[in-house]
Structure 1
Amino acid sequence: MTDQAIAEVEAIVARARAAQSKFENNGSQKAYDRAAEAAAWAIMEPARNRHLAELAVETTGLGNVPDKITKNHRKTLGLMRDIKGVATFGVIKDDPATGITEIARPMGVIGAVVPSTNPGATPANNIINALKCGNAIVVSPSPKGVPTCEALLGYIKAEFDKLGIDRNLVQMIPGRGSKEKTQRLLEIADLIVVTGSQNNVKRAYTSGTPALAVGAGNVAVIVDETADLAAAAEKIKASKTFDNATSCSSENAVVVVDAIYDDFVDAMAQTGGALITDETKVTSKLWVKGHLNPQAIAQDADNMIAALGLTEEVPVGTEYLAVETKGIGPNHPLSGEKLSRVLTVYRAKDFDDAVDVTQKIQLHQGAGHSVGIHSADPSRPMVLANAIPTSRVIVNQAHTFATGGSFTNGMPFSLSMGCGSWGGNSIDTNLHWRHFIQTTKIVREIPANEPTLDDIFGPYWDEAGK
């Protein structure tokens, strides 16, 4: 990395640090809230939202415009609902029983590495959370995401100008960036947030800076014999096809119990899912020299089907491909994330076998992220929760919409899902505002609360003896 590149990143962070210091020293809950609202409106205003969505698809070649408009709007609206009225300035907790008063303090300068799959929604989410908590933020987009990120920051700064907010609170690594520039940002920021490339995740965790980075997705969903098959098929279709499967929460495999297998295949067909029984027809074209075919990933259905050479093999109006397979592991690429409208289908003997298949898929790829189940049996989600290395079990919902927060469930709205130790992450929750704040504790003396030895060890002594 050249000295000039190092100096460029260091200058950006220095400006951010100066702006953040003033933001904090002159801060108030209203100031933090207004800055977050400005950033949110910058992406949600309909004309700007459409422009950002169109620019994202045009420059990355990933996803589709209507769904990106929906994503930009709903993810941001949901986040604003989550943080509305949340205290992130001054005293946020005062507990007379413990004598502890907690005072909210910003992290400082956030360094955020964001992916090309969501070049508008993900940086906006990070920016809003950072500002809500009194931080400055520097974004490092993937090369293809640069134009969308530049446009987003331009809109944010236009909103800032209306309110006299310092533009240097929100910046980005300019140009197409580089690994070296991003690495320097990782080293000198106060907190790192990384979504996307697992190489970037590993670099974040080894940078020496506190890091919030998330694992890979590879969602497997069970459909059991008690499920409402039509409803399950419709939800899976809606989720699988949304934004052309760019989401890490998009279903990559469905594990169907034998008793309803044929009926569910019919239900998928009713929603535009075309069954492919010879997996080689897909694997021979979806991967090129060991890498996903760029002509097929995150594309509209007709373009993807054409890229796979299957136009004459599937019905007109096919929305996604459901490909039968049995294999799991490195030699079976269909068992991993496909970033396309391709859904792998496994046939399980019964529910126990479906759990076993799902576990093997997660251990191969996607451990810690999330799995799903379509079932009318209320006990079965608990079985999954105890059997699978996963942070989330999504029940009877369209997985993409549910995992990252929904208006019909209690998950925080986010585009970054922590995967716990299973996925090599420091968090197992959806990334949200609380991760962007720290606290100073005032600790006062309280009446003594010292137990006797008998209070602690009495039951143990009764059983084991002294």
Structure 2
Amino acid sequence: MATVSYTSRSATPDNEADPVAALVARARAAQLIANGYDQARTDELVAAAGWAIMEPTRNRALAELAVADTGIGNVDDKIRKNYRKTLGLLRDLKGAPSVGVISEDPAKGLVEIARPVGVVAAVTPSTNPAATPANKIINALKGRNAVIVAPSPKGVTACALLLEYIHAEFDRIAAPRDLVQMLPAPISKASTQALMQQCDLVVVTGSQSNVKNAYASGTPAFGVGAGNVASIVDETADCDASAEKIVRSKTFDNATSCSSENSVVLVDAVYDRMLAALAACGAVLLDADQKAAVQKLMWPDGKLSSRAIGQSAQAIARGAGLDDLGAPSVLMVEEAQIGPAHPYSGEKLSPVLAVYRARDFDDAKQIVERIYAHQGAGHSVSLHSTRDERALDLGLNLAVARVIVNQAHCIATGGSFDNGLPFSLSMGCGTWGGNNFSDNMNYRHYLNTTRIARPIAEVVPSDEAVLGEFFEKYGR
């Protein structure tokens, strides 16, 4: 197979005075080599990058470094996340065609051919400084692309170690290291912006500021919307099972995931029972004074503080001077208001949960609609119920791309072994969330597709065949 460039952008000169241009030039040279790979060789790249983070000793080292350097989350959950998210992604990619002809439809005379997008700029957050880069790298490699990571400044060392492990695996299979690179430290807004402008595709997970910068870079971009997940618990729910799932989701990696519940909306008929069930799982309901103390710690100047992000409920309670709470799993606050003046109604990135009381399911739906009008539109909603039609109701009427039913939300939303969603750490939120896609981001987003169209027997329908019902109702 000829090693011709698959990108529409001209190669960037290797200018040593411009380190970003030099990275891009090396990435383009490596991507030219990958252009010649067949499916089997491409899948070796994928396996090598996956094993780089899954291997137990390396996985632990990455998790420990991530927590040590960012101060966010906890080691054991990051180990589980690094392993399970990567294992699930490799499962999704195994046997998936991404090289050459990937589908044929003789009846329509169509053939689809997968082509690389070129050099991918992957902007990643501090909340998942190993798992998110790995996910993007693996998806990019599945399409025979090169990828350059722009990590969060706090996540530089973990990302660098991940790349060290990937390069070691590439050496084993004699693949070019320059297929996977990262911006050199110190990471700056200027270097990240330069990278986005010089690459062929930008995929960005993290702050909405980064997403907006990606869209304004002049390069095609996929960005994700803000998370602020609400969970409805209706009168038919199993309260004990629902509480266990909510607390398990809300405490995983200290709620660093955009898919962690930020609010629970409890139907009045189960309000007291659900609070008791949540308390049995270690969640503590704060009184008004305690709520005010935690709010002062979390939003001292109106902006969510690093003293709260990714910290345990116990650490947040201690920081707020609430030492008498013991060792809570989650801090709960009753809330009735929504909007900028009521910060508990927004995303908290910590095991702090706003609790809303609803008259019934319809009222709960309206409360969630108001929450998402404030923040979180497009992402997803959680439902605990035995009435399946209510999931369809939410899907038809709420501004969400996903309805997660009777599951631990943060584990389920990005794909799980017990649901059918693709494994991903980047969830599109559609136009509701200011995004151009509403899928769980996957390898197909890292491909161009060329279509061959051959002539088939012409079939031209009559006016009656396509407009008959309209004519019958309204006349010609």
User: For this structure pair, what is the TM-score category when the shorter chain's length is used for normalisation?
Assistant: over 0.9
Aligned with 1:432 (options 424, 433, 442)? 442
Distance 1:362 1:196 in 2: 18
Aligned residues: 461
Match for 2:295 among 257, 261, 283?
A: 283
Q: Which consecutive segments of 4 or more residues in structure 1 shift more than 4 A?
A: 3-6
Question: Is the contact between residue 296 and residue 308 of structure 1 (CA under 8 Å) also seen in structure 2?
Answer: no
Does 2:46 correspond to 1:36? yes
Question: Which residue number corresponds to residue 294 of structure 1?
Answer: 306
Pick from 18, 30, 47: which aligns with 2:29?
18
Moved more, 281-290 or 185-194: 281-290
Q: 1:68 aligns with which of 49, 62, 78?
A: 78
Q: Report the secondary structure of 1:327's partner residue.
A: coil
SS at match of 2:394: helix
Q: 1:9-34, CA deviations, whole angstroms, 9 ceiling, x for partnerless residues?
A: 0110111011101110x210011100
Contact 1:195 1:416 in 2 (8 A): yes
Partner of 2:381: 371
1:303 to 310, 315, 318: 315
Structure 1 residue 179 and structure 2 residue 189: aligned?
yes
Aligned residue in 1 for 2:5: none
Match of 1:151 among 161, 185, 202: 161
1:413-465 deviation line (CA, Å, top 9, x unaligned): 00000000000001101001111111111211111122222222222222212
- Does the residue aligned with 1:253 lie in a helix, a strand or coil? strand
Cα separation, 1, equivalents of 2:15 and 2:312: 41
Where 2:379 maps in the other structure, the secondary structure is coil
**Mapped partners of 2:17, 2:339: distance in 1:** 41
Do 1:112 and 1:123's aligned partners in 2 also have CA atoms closer than 8 Å? yes
Partner amino acid, structure 2, of 1:383: D
1:7 equivalent in alignment to 2:18: yes
Contact 2:104 2:112 in 1 (8 A): yes
Shift of residue 5 of structure 1?
Answer: 9.1
5+ residue gaps, structure 1, are: none
Aligned residues of 2:15 and 2:21 also touching (Cα < 8 A): no
CA distance in 1, matches of 2:399, 2:203: 23
**2:320, 2:336 → 1: CA distance?**
21
1:349-403: per-residue Cα shift (whole Å, max 9, x none)?
1111111111100111000001101111111111211221110111000000000
Name 1:86's counterpart in structure 2. Answer: 96
**How far apart in 2 are the matches of 1:264 and 1:181?**
49
Distance 1:17 1:4 in 2: 14
Paired residues for 1:225-374 under 5 Å:
225-278=235-288, 279-312=291-324, 314=325, 316-374=326-384
> Match of 2:322, as an amino acid?
L
Partner AA of 1:21 in structure 2 = L
Q: CA deviation at 1:300?
A: 2.4
Task: Report if the CA contact (8 A) 1:215-1:368 is conserved.
Answer: yes
Seen in structure 2, the aligned counterparts of structure 1 residues 17 and 323 have a Cα distance that, compared at 3 Å, is: same
Residue 138 (structure 1) shift: 0.5
Given candidates 380, 392, 396, the residue that maps to 2:406 is 396
Shift of 1:6: 7.3
Tell me the distance in 2 between the aligned counterparts of 1:236 and 1:298.
17
Equivalent pair of 2:205/2:426 in contact (CA under 8 Å): yes
Please state whether the residue corresponding to 1:137 is helix, strand or coil: strand
Q: CA deviation at 1:293?
A: 2.6
3-state SS of paired residue (2:323): coil
Structure 2 residue ranges without an equivalent (≥5) = 1-13
1:4 offset after TM fit, Å? 8.3
What is the TM-score normalised by the length of structure 1? 0.97
Percent identical residues: 57
Residues 359 and 387, structure 1, Cα contact 8 Å, conserved in 2: no
The answer to whether structure 1 residue 112 and structure 2 residue 128 are counterparts is: no
* Secondary structure, aligned partner of 1:212: strand
TM-score between the two structures when normalised by the length of structure 2: 0.95
Provide the rounded CA distance (Å) in 1 between the counterparts of 2:233 and 2:320: 27
Match of 1:291, SS state, is coil
Structure 1 residue 249: deviation in Å?
A: 0.3
Q: What SS does the aligned partner of 1:220 have?
A: strand
**SS across alignment from 2:321:** coil
Q: What is the alpha-carbon root mean square deviation over aligned residues?
A: 1.3
